[in-house]
């Protein structure tokens, strides 16, 4: 019997908060190898909890960078021991959680730079001006503000710093054996990159620290081949000398690639917090959400919106109104009408970030605030309200539902068909479900294939056309668009009313 043909492949890496993970994807886009190193379990000597160190002030949250280096070594040795054929690797790429690398690296949970955030916003004319420039208002975890903190607190260490990397570009540097540039997409999460011109904003650089541009290097398109693997990997593991390294990016942009979003599509992750990924052509940056350069199409953008009151809020209302039963919860959605007879609800048991509201607020069809709804109306008000908020805030960033729009649903609530039906009805678009267990990793492997083809201007959608298709889960009910086109402006008005009551009159 003939030997099986060697399997040409690309590797996708994910340097995340709790682990380093790898997948190998063949030319038919099948995942045929995966492995991971979990920091708390496999690297006890670093003493992390949840992959991080929380400092005494409760605000500073960091990860030891050497831990990521050691995890990479361990995975490569495991692959070698298992007989993995590195000689067939055409290219590799990867994802890193968004932040930057020092010996103890601040991670996304860090919130110790509030003063620097206010300084940066003031330097460019306010939060909205910064958002228009860089895609986001100032956030504590964003790199520019972390750099400003180090410069202010330890100017000597800053002056001796030759290069500043993100986790993504640092991880790529490990494979190159030399500094890797920062890509446009992950670079958009720094409060430093001008997202329209795709160059560093001189005003933002100047507000953070001196000589910053030379320490960051020039940013590059996300599909760039930034070099070949260093001779160390060729000699130790048998990588081919021509194995390409495609620019690494952030975990969210890599997930967009892994879910294969296209123009007009939305991905909705229904987890502890709910996250919306949007593909945008003409973004309108706002004080909420984030706009990034699109990792798979340099002409377009992606946006990210987070909603804190996700699955825990759904479970609370299930417990209170549906006897702790998802099947009773589903029955309520099936037995109540679209639009809920005009009854609208806002359910924020923890302080929401999109928008900044807390508490439960219920309104009758006559726009009067009421203290309670019948149990089935309560359940529909929760789910309709969650999805109407998502649509309103997505449209606030420039998103528009198109005839070809697909919604990709992931996370725990994506298993409930009745919840997905409401999602399809509110957005007026079909909902698909997709397995995203390794979306950042798989997206990185897809991006490696795209990097190989990008020099010939092959679009990403062409590169990934063989990947498994998502499964259709719900299509809009006839008449849904008329119902929600009337209700959405109503919901938006009530949201503003609650905001003005909690904040005082809007400026």
Q: How far is CA 105 from the centre of its chain?
A: 19
Using a 10 angstrom Cβ sphere, with 0-12 exposed, 13-18 middle and 19 or more buried, the burial of residue 225 is middle
pLDDT at 364 over 50: yes
CA distance 344 to 501: 17
Model confidence pLDDT, tens digit, residues 150-207: 999 999 999 999 999 999 999 999 999 999 999 999 999 999 999 999 999 999 999 9
Query: What's residue 108's pLDDT?
Result: 56
CA distance 166 to 97: 8
The mean pLDDT value for 463-473 works out to: 95
The mean pLDDT value for 112-118 works out to: 90
The domain locations on the chain are: 9-251, 260-433+477-507
DSSP state of 60: -
Between 499 and 141, name the one with better pLDDT. Answer: 499
- For residue 355, cis peptide bond before it (omega within 30 degrees of 0): yes
pLDDT at 1 over 70: no
Percent of the chain having pLDDT more than 90? Answer: 83
**Cβ(302)–Cβ(280) below 8 Å:** yes
**Cβ(482)–Cβ(339) below 8 Å:** no
Query: What's residue 98's pLDDT?
Result: 65
Q: What is the pTM of this model?
A: 0.90
What is the band of 112 on the pLDDT scale with cuts at 50, 70, 90? confident
Q: Does domain 260-433+477-507 have CATH number 1.10.645.10?
A: no
What is the band of 423 on the pLDDT scale with cuts at 50, 70, 90? very high
Rg (the chain; Cα; Å): 23
Domains 9-251 and 260-433+477-507 belong to one CATH topology: yes
Model confidence pLDDT, tens digit, residues 52-64: 777 777 666 677 8
Q: Which CATH architecture has domain 9-251?
A: 2-Layer Sandwich (3.30)
């Amino acid at each position: 019997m003939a030997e099986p043909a060697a399997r040409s492949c690309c590797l996708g890496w994910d340097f995340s908060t709790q682990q380093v993970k790898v997948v190998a994807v063949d030319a038919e886009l099948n995942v045929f190898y995966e492995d991971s190193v979990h920091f708390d379990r496999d690297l006890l000597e670093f003493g992390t909890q949840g992959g991080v160190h929380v400092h005494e002030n409760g605000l500073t949250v960091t990860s030891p960078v050497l831990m990521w280096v050691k995890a990479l070594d361990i995975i490569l040795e495991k692959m070698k021991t298992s007989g993995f054929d590195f000689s067939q690797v055409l290219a590799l790429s990867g994802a890193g959680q968004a932040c930057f690398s020092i010996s103890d690296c601040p991670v996304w949970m860090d919130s110790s730079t509030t003063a620097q955030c206010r300084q940066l916003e003031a330097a460019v004319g306010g939060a909205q001006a910064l958002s228009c420039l860089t895609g986001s208002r100032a956030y504590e975890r964003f790199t520019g503000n972390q750099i400003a903190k180090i410069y202010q607190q330890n100017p000597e260490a800053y002056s001796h710093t030759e290069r500043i990397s993100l986790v993504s570009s640092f991880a790529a540097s490990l494979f190159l054996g030399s500094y890797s540039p920062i890509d446009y997409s992950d670079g958009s999460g720094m409060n430093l990159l001008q997202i329209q011109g795709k160059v560093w904003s001189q005003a933002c650089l100047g507000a953070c620290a001196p000589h910053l541009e030379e320490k960051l290097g020039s940013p590059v398109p996300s599909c760039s081949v930034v070099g070949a693997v260093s001779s160390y990997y060729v000699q130790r593991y048998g990588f081919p000398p021509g194995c390409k390294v495609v620019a690494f990016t952030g975990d969210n942009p890599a997930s967009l690639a892994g879910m294969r979003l296209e123009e007009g599509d939305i991905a909705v992750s229904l987890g502890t917090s709910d996250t919306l990924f949007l593909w945008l052509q003409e973004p309108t940056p706002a004080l909420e959400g984030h706009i990034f350069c699109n990792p798979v199409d340099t002409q377009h953008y992606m946006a990210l919106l987070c909603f804190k009151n996700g699955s825990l809020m759904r479970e609370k209302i299930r417990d209170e109104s549906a006897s702790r039963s998802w099947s009773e919860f589903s029955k309520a959605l099936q037995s109540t009408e679209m639009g809920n007879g005009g009854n609208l609800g806002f359910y924020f048991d923890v302080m929401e970030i999109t928008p900044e509201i807390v508490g439960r607020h219920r309104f009758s069809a006559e726009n009067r605030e009421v203290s309670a709804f019948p149990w089935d109306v309560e359940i529909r008000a929760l789910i309709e309200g969650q999805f109407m908020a998502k649509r309103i805030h997505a449209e606030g960033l420039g998103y528009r539902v198109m005839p070809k729009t697909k919604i990709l649903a992931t996370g725990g609530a994506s298993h409930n068909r009745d919840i997905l039906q409401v999602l399809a009805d509110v957005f007026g678009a079909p909902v698909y479900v997709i397995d995203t267990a390794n979306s950042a990793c798989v997206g990185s492997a897809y991006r490696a294939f795209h990097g190989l083809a990008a020099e010939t201007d092959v679009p990403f959608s062409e590169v990934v056309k063989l990947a498994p298709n998502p499964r259709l889960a719900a299509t809009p009910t006839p008449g849904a668009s008329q119902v929600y086109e009337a209700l959405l402006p109503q919901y938006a008005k009530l949201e503003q009313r609650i905001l003005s009551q909690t904040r005082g009159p809007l400026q």
